[in-house]
Amino acid sequence: MRKLIVLVLALSAVMLLGVNAAVAQGSMKTEVGDGEGALDIIAWAGYIERGDTDPNYDWVTDYEAETGCTVNVKVAATSDEMVSLMNEGVFDLVTASGDASLRLVYGDRLQPINIDLIPSWSTVDDRLKEAPWHTVDKDGDGTAEHYGVPYQWGSNVLMYNTDIFPEAPTSWNVVFEEQTLSDGESNKGRVQAYDGPIYIADAALYLMAKNPELGITDPYELDQAQFDAVLELLRTQRELVARYWHDVTAQVTDFTSEGMVASGSWPYQVNVLQFDGQPIASTIPEEGATGWADSTMMHVDAPHPNCAYKWLEHSLNPKLQGDLASWFGSVPSVPAACEGNELLTEEGCAINGFENFEKIHFWKTPIAACGDDRGDVCLPYSEWATQYIAIIGGR
């Protein structure tokens, strides 16, 4: 844990200083050659499937057959873990969310992507092509470079037990404030929260609606007074939380057999529990939701760059995109995937929130610059990490 905290602090400091590192960024490839025989990817659970869980969901086998590149996957539970693993320098690609991507860019862990080597780039959703979490003018020449290829996006959801909530909860207060539920019992000890500093944004989003006098307009841009109010809410929530989850399998088990009734979650866990016949559903409450827009990014010293570029192209295949969206409960980065996919169905993209893009507060790395006329008075990610670790520890 100490190693992780040091890494988070170091990478956040680099961002805050706006340093353009003097070390080489790695040369952008100009052509794709023969594969090196292997590909090592850091990914969220459920993102790289080869049919082990369900044979209908397999987008690795055909890639390996076509390229001769054997895919090895390291599942990461949090963005901080992804940053830590990429710092080790032994992986080719990572499916990074917005709260990790810029730390990786400014921490010199990534090489820019030559989109001319990705024939299917033109099929990517226009809302994602120039997204600020993967498109950065790092070298200051006035032209932004691409550091990632959009993969999937979606919102964090409120997952709940339908036996306890016959109707969907309308507010996130079911996980933030103690209350008596429909079975006459308190929610204390029956709810969960995400084990990652970025969860502070979920609490901030809740307070945006509940306490508008705080003046929060962006849950990732919190000045000291706003930050202190959010931390107080999270300390109160600490008394309710049975587990801070980061392992999706553990959360599924908790909702299956440990009496959990509500938690922020990902659509993936909802799908797994519903497939198992559990009384589980999900909703986006009236306060809105945070979310993730993930990009596949390449390590600056990727040991298998040709296999990596072949995967980047493969990752935009409409069938892969549609199958993955069906499996994870996410939205494809390729709109064409929304049509004609048997697993996703014609309604799948709408159900998963294709039209909610502008309503989602996508994960991003908090920095000191507030993004408005307050100046550099917002709390950076390093402070988020320090304070959230303390809260989880009961301090």
18 versus 245: the higher-pLDDT residue is: 245
pLDDT for 395 equals 80
Percentage of the residues of the chain whose pLDDT score is greater than 90 = 89
pLDDT tens digits for range 175-227: 999 999 999 999 999 999 999 999 999 999 999 999 999 999 999 999 999 99
What is the predicted pLDDT for the residue at 394? 87
Percent of the chain past pLDDT 70, that is, above it, reads: 93
| pLDDT at residue 66, as a whole number | 98
Whether the Cβ atoms of residue 317 and residue 62 lie closer than 8 Å to each other: no
| Residues 380/368, Cβ–Cβ less than 8 Å | yes
Between the alpha carbon of residue 141 and those of residues 20, 23, 83, 113, 116, the distances in Å are: 12, 17, 26, 16, 20
Predicted pLDDT of residue 299: 97
**Span 374-380, mean pLDDT?**
97
Q: Can you name the residues that pair with 180 across neighbouring β-strands?
A: 186
The bridge status of strand 135-136 relative to strand 191-194 is: unpaired
pLDDT at 20: 35
User: What average pLDDT does the chain have?
Assistant: 92
Domains and CATH numbers, the chain: 2-153+293-358 (3.40.190.10), 155-290+366-392 (3.40.190.10)
Evaluate if residue 5 carries a pLDDT over 80.
Answer: no
Q: Can you tell me whether residue 53 is helix, strand or coil?
A: coil
Neighbouring residues of 229: CB distance < 8 A, sequence distance ≥ 6: 207, 211, 214
Give me the pLDDT at residue 9, please: 42
| Confidence at residue 89, expressed as pLDDT on a 0 to 100 scale | 81
For residue 161, what are its two tokens? Answer: 């037990």
Report whether 32 contacts 117 (CB < 8 A).
yes
Instruction: Report pLDDT for 27.
Output: 72
Per-residue pLDDT tens over the stretch 229-269 = 999 999 999 999 999 999 999 999 999 999 999 999 999 99
Q: Where does the pLDDT of residue 26 fall: very low under 50, low under 70, confident under 90, or very high at 90 and above? A: low
Distance between CA 226 and CA 212 in Å, rounded? 11
Structure tokens at 347: 């309604």
On the question of pLDDT at 6 being above 70, the answer is no
pLDDT for 139 equals 87
> pLDDT tens across 305-345, in order?
999 999 999 999 999 999 999 999 999 999 999 999 999 99
pLDDT at 19: 35
